[in-house]
Structure 1
Amino acid sequence: MSHFAVFLRGINVGGNNMKMAALRTSLASLPLDGVKTLLASGNVICSASVSVDELKSMVEQRLRESFGYEAWVVVLDGPQLEHIVRACPWPAHDPAVHSYVTLASEPAVLDELARHGGEIPGVELARLSPEALAWPAVRGDTLASPFSKLSARPRYKSTTTTRNVRTLLKCSEALAALP
């Protein structure tokens, strides 16, 4: 049995509100163990005897059935998530800068984002793994930052989601605590 982190896209923003208790209840009906939510932004940890792709498919289908919206998730196993957190060149806790990681279910999408983002003056990017691209933003300017605007384009909606490195660290620590 493997441990996984599941990151939902677009939860509790833009009118797509979801209670974490309802999310846990819905996912607990799948063949998963230890389903837990972290924070209120669609972060789930669990254990399962399936592949990353199988878990992604199961969770997306369940979310569509339970909550009636076009659900997209990115799934990482424990070692992938731990590697991403360790590889990030920007600190998780900096009073002036937020460190973000855009996660993708399709590495080619991150290739494209990295290429386009690298063409924007002043944008710093670090590819952490095939499924993760890190970038810093000045606190208070995240949504206005050039890379945030690029990655928020509708074309990336079904394959990417972005998390603060602090959130990824909390998820990695919670995965490590699972039996």
Structure 2
Amino acid sequence: MKKASKDSVSGSGRKFCAFLRGVNVKGTNMKMAEVCAVFEKAGMKDVSSVLASGNILFSSEKEEEELKRILEKSMSEHFSYEAFLFVKSQQEIETIFRETPFEANAEYHIYIFVGVEGIAKILMTEFEKSRKASGEEAQLMGRNFYWKISKGNTLDSEFGKILGRKKLKDSFTSRNLNTFEKVLKKL
């Protein structure tokens, strides 16, 4: 029998956040209450959302990979689009947030990327090849990729344009540091 992890919830399972990619951008519009209902129908417990960008908190006894398959299938069927999401446990989210290498700064966005195994190294390679904006930085910490870019330059930077490539769309999603903090406070 497994020991309860420090991120377990009595009776409901472990706590997770599913980070959905491409929600409420480029015509993929959905209400978070409806997304939460899809998660509940798929068997998730204690479902709630954080912001309208597709951060869904829930509890489950299942493992991350199985949750990813179940939830992507449920979302794809319900909303008639190809859903991509990345599931992280409460413990993983705490670690990702704690390891953030950049200090919060009102003039910069700090993005944290979650995705498939190995994507952080691919993103770092692409970042290293790209022309940098003033003050733009990136770092790998463990298996995670972090990017700092001055406000107003996210989509105009060379690296920002690389992030929009279709071949990468099912490999990762990103959230800013503030979103991660809000997710952690609600978990």
* Residue 15 of structure 1: how far off its partner (Å): 0.6
1:125 Cα deviation from its structure 2 partner: 1.3
Q: Secondary structure at the match of 2:59?
A: strand
SS in 2 for 1:140: coil
Matched residue, 1:158: 170
Whose Rg is larger? 2
Q: Is the 8 A contact 1:118 1:124 kept in 2?
A: no
Report how many residues are paired: 172
State how far apart, in whole Å, the 1-side matches of 2:141 and 2:60 are: 25
| Counterpart residue identity of residue 103, structure 1 | V
CA distance in structure 2 between the partners assigned to 1:78 and 1:129 by the alignment = 17
Distance 2:142 2:21 in 1: 19
Matched, 1:58 2:75: no
Q: Distance in 2 between matches of 1:152 and 1:128?
A: 23
**How far apart, in 1, do the equivalents of 2:71 and 2:142 lie?**
23
How far the C-alpha of 1:147 sits from its partner, in A, is: 2.0
**2:5 maps to which residue?**
none
Q: What's 2:127 paired with? A: 117
TM-score, with length taken from structure 1: 0.91
Give RMSD over aligned pairs.
Answer: 1.3
Q: Deviations over 1:63-122 (max 9, x none)?
A: 011100000001111111111111112234x21001001211x22222212112112243
TM-score, normalization by structure 2: 0.87
C-alpha separation between the residues in 2 aligned to 1:125 and 1:33?
A: 36
User: For structure 1, which segment, 33-42 or 111-120, has the greater mean C-alpha deviation from structure 2 after superposition?
Assistant: 111-120
- Residues 21-64 of structure 1 show CA distances to partners (whole Å, capped at 9, x for unaligned) of 11111111122111001100000011100001011111101001
Partner of 1:128: 141
SS at 2:137's partner residue? Answer: coil
State whether structure 2 residue 104 is matched by structure 1 residue 96: no
